[in-house]
């Protein structure tokens, strides 16, 4: 028998000895690695916090309400997906130097992009699970049984990696064939976020300052304060359009080929909207006079429409206000025969229009042209944008005790200026006996609503109790179609209770449990406190 | 005197006259040549001609004795009727029966392994489209599950002696000596016999691929010296579904929806006024009352099959040429779900020179099946969608356009206008062999086999528009962008097999048979897919007409096998039998260091009825044999052809860097260079018994099969970051017994037969290589069957008395253990707290609650014939198995796409405490977790086939030059007794519904031969 007959090679794949030879191969490997940046899943994390409610029994609702166990598949999926990305990164970083690249800097830039993605994946892992195995090499199957490394060590690794990558990456807003690539600002912005999350306020301050000093980024505006913020999250603000200098990392999508379903999920016509803004979020918007609703004379709850009046302009660019265009078809107003305009919340599941369980809908992130179709949305999913860097700068300064009015003027007040909101003035806050820290946190919540940050903010601010509160909606008597809410549960003040039985145990719920299957396969991992 | 009578009395003497007639095989109704026909008590006799006819001079009152090898002897008392059709019952005494075994043939009496066979008779006149269906219930130890009856894609899962692997458990198929054919596209009418090799002795010669058992199919051939016979067989008939979900109409749906919403503190959607509108039908656009299951499924679909063959032979050659056409209509509405198959087969056997035999066997299949672009599947496609769509949606609005209210596409619109999914394939098999007898008892043989297939799939996804009945505006689109997807699949399999055989008897007592051989084979497959969108017209679907998004992709695979094999049979005095097999295999699927391995088996048999002490018993028991075998076999189907190599492959469309479609490359998995095959060790003890003049035959077997080094994808800690490499770990044991009993007799002209088989297999995972199991609804747990169902144990539905009721708050607090977070109320399921910790936990309170692996499979065949009439009844079933239907196939209102069925009316309410379904909870599914409450009993007993035939008398036919003709009515799956969930067939795999229904088929057919 001839051995040759049995020596076959794959016909549609490359054996690894023939890979890692040239720049084209490096680019192909990096292309695959970019696929590990979270897409709509970034926004789905919002469901775990208190800004929005996905009303059917999803894993996110279970996690957010504390009623879940370590066998929940989503926990394991996140763990597995993150480590899958990390392996790809490690594999690249172990091998890329073998490739011949005419300009070696180009090779190093690719490697730096990969290091940022790896750091990004570790930032999720460490935030969700705390201590995790810090894997920086391509593991063989007998190297899988180590324990977890302390979160501090992982964070330190992430911060170092991001700085080293930032030192290599060019300072530019990538465009043309590089559109979507990670550049210096993205590495530094991510570093600022991770530092802030972990209380390294000095590091966060420096990193965000460095981003600001690059002078590359600016807040997106179309010139109209009443739509600029909302526009950023529609097709107008897509990076591919070339006029968005704010977004630093985005998961890009491509017409007809690479799409998601977010706009439809937010205002799905004829079903329950998947994203229902909570009373808690709606109430957090200041009135236009800069005062919270419980302090401002401008606030009124005498009608549904009144709630939206005299508020931070970001509110009606985030929460769907009566009179706004929408894609949810027929609303809760039987006299409204124009399905393209929203007038009143719909509670009735008769499949003719989008149903809310809180009385509110989102308009942020909705590209109305795609709502009526399943998975046709090509909106960018914003992973990191300049606004967050500014917020991080302000918060870091505050926590360091060095926040000044001029700091606010180059950060938060730029955000307010974009939408025509009254600036934040420290002396005014003091005069009104408002807490500066609370207001800075409010600013972050309002600006970044529906961008997947809220859950992590609640945790780092140790405000877990918020997640044990009932999820509420509009006051029932403000609903136009009273027959649709007759049976809806309300609290003692008449507000709709959309979800009850939520739990949050300290310290247990400040971390996800190590997924059951991982623990079964490697008991050395150990479990988080309280689980 | 009537001159027409052949008898006339002259002087009181009855004159002899010629009796003419024909002798038929009572099973196949084919004529039998060479049968001796004698007049009892005389020397007078004759032998039937090629067409089974005879002529003999006799007189009324005399008795004819008709004798033929393999048939029971029949006596016929002559009357004045001089034209006789005589049907002989086959003799179940199979002493001389020749059985096809690996690389050869063997007399059944000399077999030392466990081999079951069926012949063409067992398949005839049944509306089966695949060989798998024919095997169901026919042989002990062979379990067949028909999973789908979709036209052109009937799926059957064949398992021989249980499931010995966690991977691919399909048996090896060998068609006319060439391994690797496709049983599903072979024309059952072309098949002469099927042997199933079950133990190591019979299948070890297939080495690395024999572990799951081997199915040997032999196709028909002509007979040397036969005059040409043209045969036609065909039928036409109808299929109807065996089980269909019964969905509720709009008023009931609305009431139940309201109830389910009230139950979870939501507001009811519909007012009494709305419900009244739905009931009255006054608003057919928004309050229709559509039974979507009736709309999507037809009540019946046509099926027809026609086969024409010609066979015969000359002095040194024989030929068989056949053409078969099968057409199946679909049960899904619209014109898309149907299939057609054309089979052509030519087999020519010639003796070229004195000692050289050449066998040329060519097959060609042209087949196609179609569907809608919607597909069909376990949780997709139109039938699934019919389970999910509101009855309030009209099929069409009053304006004539497709109806749409919301939530999902209109499935009737999609199957009608949403585009097509057409598959067509041409498969050629060429099988040429030459056998040269070199000297007495020694021959060599060479065989070349080719299987080449060329298939194409076109998926044309069309846009369906829905317009508002009020203002004509576009309200929704299914597939907003039309798209054409063209796929091309090409594969070639080639093998060359060389064998040498020596067969000789020495001194009349030593029978020696030696076989040695070598073979090599390779498979190469190559697939290509291209797609485009925005076709300018929806009329024509071709890749050329798309205008945007030109994308393409492809994949290819190859593998090869080289082997040396051999067998030695030794028989002493026709009493003591011994056989040794070996095969040395090398597979390209493994690293060169671990590529080759040897598989062997040994077996012995003792024909104790040949012993002298048995002499006195032989009148009662003609033959008895005990046999035993032991051996090893392998399974090299590891899922991937290159699991031992580290490879990089493309990932398409990951992240559109630069705003462009991008392709990335990444490592495809972790290689395992130590990977090698699974080894199955098989032990078998069997008993063959013939008694009562060959009327009763018994075959019994007991076996233990242990599969070691199971190719297991051992889940690893996911810090690994990629797919788990398959490893050789784990062990599975199958232990079982089989019993086959047959009885066949003829009482004058009444012939009848009964055959029965029953088998059991106990499957057990013995080792998982030390890896902890992963828990889900189906688990692989030590000590339990593979993929056992794993869930909570449900006690009953909770009643108000199981709660503490707080009158002030109106809150029910359960006084039984519950799962934390579940809002348990009266009407929900109470689970058993298995660990007694006062709380139900998925960690500690789940247990193995059932197994999907069928046990106690049985078949019972009853046949009877009288003169030209025949009737047969075939019952088949499974004694013990579990199944599971979940999702919208089983549940109501757990999400927006699960419509209530008739059975959900019996849900728990305070007024209906003894309900069969828990209370309805809108968008909640905590009652629907897998528990014993939902586990289905998938045992069943089925009237698999009933047929009544009549063979027309030959005197009627001779004028038409028809040799024999039989007309029949036959039905498959006519009756099923089962406790399975009413809406699905008990053979439905674990799924959430949507499966193409299993069908009953009723046909009328005719077979005739012309000579």
In this structure, what CATH number is given to the domain that contains residue A48? 1.25.40.390
- Any domain includes B129: yes
* Residues B203 and B120 both lie in one domain: yes
Distance from the Cα of B525 to chain A's closest Cα (Å) equals 9
* Residues B73 and B136 both lie in one domain: no
Helices A23-34 & A73-95 angle (0-180, nearest 10) = 160
* Residues A491 and A518 both lie in one domain: no
A407-417 pLDDT per residue, tens = 999 999 999 99
Query: Taking CB atoms and an 8 Å limit, are B665 and A16 in contact across chains?
Result: no
Beta strands in B167-300 (DSSP E): 172-175, 178-179, 191-197, 214-219, 229-241
Query: Taking CB atoms and an 8 Å limit, are A501 and B587 in contact across chains?
Result: no
Mean predicted confidence (pLDDT) in A325-334: 93
| Counted domains in chain B | 2
Q: Compare all CA atoms of chain A with the CA of B261 and give the residue at the minimum distance.
A: A487
DSSP, collapsed to helix, strand or coil, labels residue B185 as helix
- Any domain includes A46: yes
CB of B805 within 8 Å of a chain A CB? The answer is: no
Query: Taking CB atoms and an 8 Å limit, are A178 and B556 in contact across chains?
Result: no
Residue ending a domain, among B88, B115, B132, is B88
* Residues B113 and B201 both lie in one domain: yes
Phi, psi of A95 (to 5 degrees): -115, -15
The count of other CB atoms within 10 Å of the CB of residue B593 is 10
pLDDT of residue B6: 44
User: Which one of B649, B657, B923 has the shortest CB-CB distance to A179?
Assistant: B657
* Residues A147 and A28 both lie in one domain: yes
- Any domain includes B23: yes
User: Sign of the CA dihedral B705, B706, B710, B716?
Assistant: positive
* Residues A372 and A492 both lie in one domain: yes
Partners of A330 on chain B (C-beta within 8 Å) are none
* Residues B136 and B78 both lie in one domain: no
Q: How far apart are CA B394 and CA B467, in angstroms?
A: 13
Q: How far apart are CA A418 and CA A220, in angstroms?
A: 8
Query: Taking CB atoms and an 8 Å limit, are B721 and A85 in contact across chains?
Result: yes
pLDDT of residue A235: 95
pLDDT of residue B8: 45
A166-221 pLDDT per residue, tens = 999 999 999 999 999 999 999 999 999 999 999 999 999 999 999 999 999 999 99
- Any domain includes B871: no
**Confidence at B15, pLDDT banded by 50, 70, 90:** low
| pLDDT over 60 (residue A2) | no
* Residues B207 and B117 both lie in one domain: yes
Q: Write out the residue range of the structural domain in which residue A281 sits.
A: 263-290+316-379+470-499
- Any domain includes B160: yes
* Residues A488 and A369 both lie in one domain: yes
B972-1009 pLDDT per residue, tens = 999 999 999 999 999 988 888 888 888 999 999 999 98
Query: Taking CB atoms and an 8 Å limit, are B660 and A348 in contact across chains?
Result: no
Mean predicted confidence (pLDDT) in A354-381: 93
Q: How far apart are CA B100 and CA B202, in angstroms?
A: 10
Residue of B285, B389, B648 to mutate when probing chain A, most A C-beta within 10 A: B648
Query: Taking CB atoms and an 8 Å limit, are B655 and A251 in contact across chains?
Result: yes
Instruction: Report how far apart, in Å, the C-alpha atoms of B645 and of each of B66, B91, B166 are.
Output: 67, 56, 22
* Residues B119 and B140 both lie in one domain: yes
Query: What is the CA angle B657-B660-B662, rounded to 5?
Result: 70
Q: Compare all CA atoms of chain B with the CA of A28 and give the residue at the minimum distance.
A: B664
Cβ proximity of B662 and B653 under 8 Å: yes
Query: Taking CB atoms and an 8 Å limit, are A35 and B655 in contact across chains?
Result: yes
* Residues B215 and B153 both lie in one domain: yes
Q: What is the dihedral of CA A269, A272, A276, A278, to 10 degrees?
A: 140
* Residues A162 and A269 both lie in one domain: no
* Residues A518 and A495 both lie in one domain: no
Query: Does this complex have an ipTM over 0.85?
Result: yes
Query: Taking CB atoms and an 8 Å limit, are B267 and A35 in contact across chains?
Result: no
pLDDT of residue A57: 67
* Residues B111 and B215 both lie in one domain: yes
A126-137 pLDDT per residue, tens = 999 999 999 999
pLDDT of residue B253: 96
User: Which one of B265, B588, B923 has the shortest CB-CB distance to A57?
Assistant: B923
Q: How far apart are CA B177 and CA B174, in angstroms?
A: 6
* Cα maximum dimension of chain A: 94
Q: How far apart are CA A204 and CA B306, in angstroms?
A: 80
Query: Taking CB atoms and an 8 Å limit, are A6 and B663 in contact across chains?
Result: no
pLDDT of residue B57: 87
Task: Please name the residues in contact with B283: beta carbons below 8 A apart, sequence gap of 6 or more.
Answer: B277
Provide the 8-state DSSP code for B953: P
Query: Taking CB atoms and an 8 Å limit, are A351 and B392 in contact across chains?
Result: yes
* Residues B27 and B63 both lie in one domain: yes
CB of B475 within 8 Å of a chain A CB? The answer is: yes
Q: How far apart are CA B911 and CA B521, in angstroms?
A: 69
| Counted domains in chain A | 2
Cβ proximity of B520 and A5 under 8 Å: yes
Q: State the CATH number of the domain containing residue B211.
A: 2.170.130.10
Instruction: Report how far apart, in Å, the C-alpha atoms of B85 and of each of B23, B88, B233 are.
Output: 6, 10, 21
pLDDT of residue B16: 64
* Residues B26 and B115 both lie in one domain: no
Q: Compare all CA atoms of chain B with the CA of A38 and give the residue at the minimum distance.
A: B655
**Confidence at B7, pLDDT banded by 50, 70, 90:** very low
Q: How far apart are CA B191 and CA B218, in angstroms?
A: 6
Distance from the Cα of A408 to chain B's closest Cα (Å) equals 35
Distance from the Cα of B925 to chain A's closest Cα (Å) equals 8
User: Which one of B406, B555, B561 has the shortest CB-CB distance to A352?
Assistant: B406
User: Which one of B406, B659, B664 has the shortest CB-CB distance to A254?
Assistant: B659
pLDDT of residue B1: 39
**Confidence at B842, pLDDT banded by 50, 70, 90:** confident
| pLDDT over 80 (residue B2) | no
Query: Taking CB atoms and an 8 Å limit, are A71 and B842 in contact across chains?
Result: yes
Least trusted range by pLDDT, from A237-246, B742-751, B934-943: B742-751
- Any domain includes A66: yes
B273-294 pLDDT per residue, tens = 999 999 999 999 989 999 999 9
* Residues A481 and A517 both lie in one domain: no
Cβ proximity of B980 and B366 under 8 Å: no
B586-615 pLDDT per residue, tens = 999 999 988 999 999 999 999 998 888 888
User: Closest Cα to residue B682, out of B626, B594, B603, B767?
Assistant: B603
* Residues A320 and A357 both lie in one domain: yes
Q: Write out the residue range of the structural domain in which residue B113 sits.
A: 98-219
The neighbouring-strand residues paired with B848 are B790
| Residue-level length of chain B | 1011
Q: State the CATH number of the domain containing residue B15.
A: 2.60.40.1120
Least trusted range by pLDDT, from A52-56, A359-363, A471-475: A52-56
- Any domain includes A459: no
* Residues A488 and A518 both lie in one domain: no
* Residues B67 and B118 both lie in one domain: no
What is the token pair recorded at B380? Answer: 């997709």
A39-76 pLDDT per residue, tens = 999 999 999 999 999 987 678 888 998 888 888 889 99
* Spacing of C-alpha B419 from chain mean position: 30
Partners of A178 on chain B (C-beta within 8 Å) are 657-658
pLDDT of residue B311: 92
* Residues B17 and B112 both lie in one domain: no
The rounded mean pLDDT for chain B is: 90
| pLDDT over 90 (residue B476) | no
- Any domain includes A149: yes
User: Sign of the CA dihedral B148, B150, B154, B155?
Assistant: negative
User: Which one of B558, B666, B896 has the shortest CB-CB distance to A271?
Assistant: B896
- Any domain includes A213: no
What secondary structure, in 3-state letters, does B118-178 show? EEHHHHCCCCCCCHHHHHCCCCCCEEEEEEECCCCCCEEEEEECCCCCCCCCCCEEEECCE
- Any domain includes B102: yes
User: Which one of B406, B481, B558 has the shortest CB-CB distance to A351?
Assistant: B406
Which residue has better confidence, B877 or A62? B877
Q: How far apart are CA A419 and CA A46, in angstroms?
A: 23
Which residue has better confidence, B8 or A502? A502
Task: Please name the residues in contact with A302: beta carbons below 8 A apart, sequence gap of 6 or more.
Answer: none
Q: How far apart are CA B621 and CA B612, in angstroms?
A: 13
pLDDT of residue B4: 43
- Any domain includes B506: no
User: Sign of the CA dihedral A186, A191, A193, A194?
Assistant: positive
- Any domain includes B761: no
- Any domain includes B179: yes
**Confidence at B89, pLDDT banded by 50, 70, 90:** confident
CB of B660 within 8 Å of a chain A CB? The answer is: yes
- Any domain includes A442: no
Mean predicted confidence (pLDDT) in B303-327: 94
Q: What is the dihedral of CA B179, B185, B190, B193, to 10 degrees?
A: 50
Let me know if A53 is exposed, middle or buried by CB neighbors in 10 A (0-12, 13-18, 19+).
buried
Q: How far apart are CA B480 and CA A375, in angstroms?
A: 10
Residue of B266, B523, B770 to mutate when probing chain A, most A C-beta within 10 A: B266
Provide the 8-state DSSP code for B222: -
User: Closest Cα to residue B643, out of B555, B707, B712?
Assistant: B712
Strands B36-39 and B45-47: antiparallel
Residue ending a domain, among B219, B234, B260, is B219
B783-800 pLDDT per residue, tens = 999 999 999 999 999 999
CB-facing half-sphere around the CA of A333: CA atoms within 13 A: 17
Residue ending a domain, among B64, B88, B112, is B88
Phi, psi of B222 (to 5 degrees): -75, 170
Q: How far apart are CA A368 and CA B246, in angstroms?
A: 38
B611-640 pLDDT per residue, tens = 888 888 877 788 899 999 999 998 888 778
Query: Taking CB atoms and an 8 Å limit, are A349 and B407 in contact across chains?
Result: no
Residue of B267, B491, B591, B839 to mutate when probing chain A, most A C-beta within 10 A: B267
């Amino acid at each position: 028998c001839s051995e040759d007959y049995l020596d076959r090679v794959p016909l549609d794949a490359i054996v690894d000895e023939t890979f890692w030879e040239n720049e084209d191969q490096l680019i192909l490997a990096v292309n695959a690695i970019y696929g590990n940046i979270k897409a709509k899943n970034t926004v789905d994390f919002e469901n775990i916090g208190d800004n929005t409610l996905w009303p059917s029994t999803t894993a996110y609702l279970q996690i957010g309400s504390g009623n879940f166990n370590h066998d929940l598949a989503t926990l394991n999926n996140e763990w597995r997906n993150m480590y899958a990305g990390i392996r790809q990164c490690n594999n690249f970083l172990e091998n890329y130097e073998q490739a011949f690249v005419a300009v070696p800097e180009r090779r190093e830039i690719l490697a730096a992009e990969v290091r940022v993605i790896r750091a990004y994946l570790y930032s999720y892992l460490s935030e969700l699970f705390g201590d995790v195995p810090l894997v920086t090499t391509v593991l063989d199957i007998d190297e899988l049984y180590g324990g977890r490394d302390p979160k501090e060590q992982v964070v330190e690794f992430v911060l170092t990696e991001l700085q080293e990558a930032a030192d290599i990456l060019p300072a530019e807003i990538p465009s043309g064939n590089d559109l979507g690539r990670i550049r210096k600002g993205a590495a530094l912005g991510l570093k600022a976020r991770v530092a802030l999350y972990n209380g390294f306020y000095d590091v966060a301050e420096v990193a965000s300052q460095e981003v600001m000093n690059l002078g590359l980024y600016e807040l997106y505006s179309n010139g109209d304060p009443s739509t600029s913020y909302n526009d950023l999250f529609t097709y107008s603000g897509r990076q591919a359009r070339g006029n968005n200098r704010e977004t630093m990392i985005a998961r890009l999508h491509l017409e007809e080929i690479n799409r998601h379903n977010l706009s439809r999920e937010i205002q799905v016509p004829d079903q329950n909207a998947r994203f229902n803004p909570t009373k808690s979020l709606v109430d957090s918007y200041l009135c236009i006079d800069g005062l919270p609703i419980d302090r401002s004379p401008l606030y009124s709850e005498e009608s549904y429409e009144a709630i939206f009046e005299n508020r931070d302009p970001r509110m009606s660019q985030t929460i769907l206000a009566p009179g706004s265009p929408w894609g949810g078809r027929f609303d809760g107003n039987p006299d409204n025969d124009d399905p393209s305009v929203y007038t009143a919340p719909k509670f009735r599941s008769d499949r003719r229009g989008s149903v809310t369980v809180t009385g509110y809908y989102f308009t942020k992130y909705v590209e109305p042209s795609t709502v009526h179709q399943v998975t046709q949305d090509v909106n960018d999913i914003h992973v990191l944008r300049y606004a967050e860097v500014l917020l991080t700068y302000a918060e870091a300064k505050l926590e360091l005790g060095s926040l000044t009015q001029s700091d606010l003027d180059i950060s938060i007040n730029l955000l307010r200026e974009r939408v025509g909101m009254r600036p934040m003035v420290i002396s005014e806050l003091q005069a009104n006996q408002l807490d500066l820290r609370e207001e800075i946190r409010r600013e972050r919540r309002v600006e970044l609503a529906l961008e997947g940050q809220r859950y992590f903010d609640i945790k780092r601010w140790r405000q877990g109790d918020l997640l044990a509160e009932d999820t509420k909606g509009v006051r029932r008597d403000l609903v136009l179609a009273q027959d649709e809410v007759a049976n809806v549960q309300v609290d003692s003040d008449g507000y709709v209770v959309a979800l009850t039985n939520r739990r949050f145990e300290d310290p247990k719920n400040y971390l996800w449990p190590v997924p059951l299957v991982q623990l079964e396969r490697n008991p050395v991992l150990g479990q988080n406190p309280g689980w | 005197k009537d001159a027409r009578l052949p008898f006339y009395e002259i002087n009181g003497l009855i004159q002899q006259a010629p009796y003419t007639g024909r002798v038929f095989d009572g099973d196949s109704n084919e004529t039998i040549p060479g049968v001796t026909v004698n007049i009892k008590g005389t020397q007078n006799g004759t032998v039937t001609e090629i067409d089974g006819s005879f002529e003999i001079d006799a007189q009324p009152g005399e008795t004819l004795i008709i004798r033929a090898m393999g048939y029971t002897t029949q006596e016929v008392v002559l009357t004045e009727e001089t034209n006789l059709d005589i049907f002989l019952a086959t003799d179940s005494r199979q002493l001389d029966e020749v059985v096809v075994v690996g690389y050869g043939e063997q007399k059944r009496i000399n077999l030392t392994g466990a081999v079951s066979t069926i012949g063409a008779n067992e398949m005839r006149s049944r509306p089966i489209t695949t060989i798998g269906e024919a095997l169901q219930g026919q042989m002990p130890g062979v379990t067949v599950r028909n999973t789908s009856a979709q036209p052109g894609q009937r799926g059957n899962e064949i398992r021989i002696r249980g499931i010995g692997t966690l991977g691919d458990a399909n048996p090896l198929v060998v068609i006319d000596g060439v391994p690797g054919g496709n049983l599903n596209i072979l024309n059952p009418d072309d098949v002469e016999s099927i042997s199933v090799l079950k133990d190591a002795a019979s299948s070890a010669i297939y080495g690395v691929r024999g572990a799951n058992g081997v199915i040997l199919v032999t196709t028909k051939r002509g007979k040397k010296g036969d005059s040409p016979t043209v045969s036609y067989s065909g039928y036409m008939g109808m299929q109807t579904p065996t089980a269909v979900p019964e969905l509720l109409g709009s008023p009931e749906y609305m009431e139940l929806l309201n109830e389910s919403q009230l139950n979870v503190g939501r507001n009811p959607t519909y007012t009494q006024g709305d419900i009244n509108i739905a009931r009255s039908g006054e608003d057919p656009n928004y309050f229709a009352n559509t039974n979507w299951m009736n709309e999507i499924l037809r009540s019946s679909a046509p099926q027809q099959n026609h086969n024409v063959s010609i066979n015969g032979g000359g002095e040194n050659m024989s030929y068989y040429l056949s053409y078969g056409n099968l057409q199946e209509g679909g049960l899904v509405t619209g014109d898309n779900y149907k299939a057609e198959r054309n089979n052509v087969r030519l087999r020519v056997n010639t003796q070229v020179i004195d000692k050289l035999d050449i066998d040329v066997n060519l097959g060609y299949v042209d087949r196609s099946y179609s569907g809608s672009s919607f597909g069909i599947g376990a949780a997709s496609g139109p039938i699934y969608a019919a389970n999910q769509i509101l009855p309030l949606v009209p099929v069409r609005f009053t304006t004539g356009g497709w109806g749409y209210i919301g939530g999902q596409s209109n499935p009737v619109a999609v199957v009608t206008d949403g585009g097509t999914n057409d598959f067509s394939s041409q498969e050629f098999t060429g099988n040429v062999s030459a056998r040269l007898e070199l000297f007495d008892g020694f021959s060599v043989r060479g065989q070349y086999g080719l299987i080449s297939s060329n298939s194409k799939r076109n998926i044309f996804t069309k846009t369906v528009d829905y317009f508002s009945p009020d203002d004509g505006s576009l309200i929704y689109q299914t597939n907003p962008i039309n798209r054409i997807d063209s796929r091309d699949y090409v594969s070639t399999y080639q093998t060359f097999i060389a064998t040498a055989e020596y067969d000789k008897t020495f001194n009349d007592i030593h029978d020696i048979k030696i076989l040695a051989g070598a073979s090599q084979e390779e498979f190469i497959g190559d697939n290509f897919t291209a797609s485009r969108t925005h076709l300018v017209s929806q009329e024509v679907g071709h890749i050329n007409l798309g205008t945007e998004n030109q994308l393409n992709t492809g994949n290819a695979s190859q593998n090869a096998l080289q082997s040396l094999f051999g067998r030695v049979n030794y028989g002493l005095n026709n009493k003591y039998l011994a056989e040794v097999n070996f095969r040395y295999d090398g597979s390209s699927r493994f690293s060169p260091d671990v590529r080759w391995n040897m598989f062997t088996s040994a077996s012995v048999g003792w024909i104790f009825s040949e012993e002298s002490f048995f002499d006195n018993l032989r009148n009662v028991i003609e033959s008895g044999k005990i046999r035993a075998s032991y051996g090893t076999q392998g399974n090299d189907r590891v899922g991937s052809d290159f699991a031992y190599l580290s490879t990089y492959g493309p990932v398409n469309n990951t992240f559109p860097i630069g705003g462009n479609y991008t392709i990335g490359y990444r490592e495809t998995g972790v290689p395992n260079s130590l990977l090698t095959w699974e080894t199955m060790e098989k032990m078998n003890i069997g008993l063959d018994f013939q008694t009562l003049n060959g009327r009763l035959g018994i075959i019994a077997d007991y076996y233990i099969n242990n599969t070691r080094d199971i190719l297991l994808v051992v889940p690893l800690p996911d810090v690994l970051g990629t797919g788990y490499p398959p490893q050789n770990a784990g062990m599975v044991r199958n232990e079982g017994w089989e019993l086959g009993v047959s009885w066949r007799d003829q009482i004058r002209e009444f012939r009848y037969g009964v055959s029965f088989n029953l088998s059991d297999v106990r499957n057990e995972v013995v080792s998982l290589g030390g890896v902890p199991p992963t828990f889900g609804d189906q688990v692989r747990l030590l000590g339990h069957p593979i993929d056992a169902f794993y869930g909570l144990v449900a006690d009953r539905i909770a009643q108000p008395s199981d709660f503490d009721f707080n009158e002030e708050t109106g809150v029910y607090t359960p006084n039984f253990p519950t799962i934390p977070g579940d809002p348990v109320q009266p009407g929900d399921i109470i689970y058993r707290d298995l660990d007694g910790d006062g709380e139900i936990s998925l960690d500690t309170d789940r247990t193995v609650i059932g197994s999907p692996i069928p046990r106690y499979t049985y078949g019972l065949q009853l046949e009877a014939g009288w003169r030209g009439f025949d009737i047969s009844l075939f019952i088949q079933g499974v004694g013990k198995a579990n199944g599971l239907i979940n999702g919208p196939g089983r549940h109501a209102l757990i999400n927006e796409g699960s419509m209530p069925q008739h059975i959900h009316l019996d849900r728990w309410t305070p007024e209906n405490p003894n309900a069969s379904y828990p209370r309805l909870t809108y968008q909640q599914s905590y009652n629907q977790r897998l528990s014993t409450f939902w586990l289905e009993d998938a045992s069943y007993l089925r009237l698999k086939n009933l047929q009544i035939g009549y063979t027309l008398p030959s005197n009627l036919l001779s004028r038409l030059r028809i040799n024999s003709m039989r007309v029949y009515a036959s039905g498959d799956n006519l009756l099923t007794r089962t406790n399975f969930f009413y809406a699905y067939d008990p053979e439905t795999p674990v799924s959430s519904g949507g499966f193409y229904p299993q069908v009953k088929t009723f046909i009328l057919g005719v077979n005739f031969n012309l000579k």
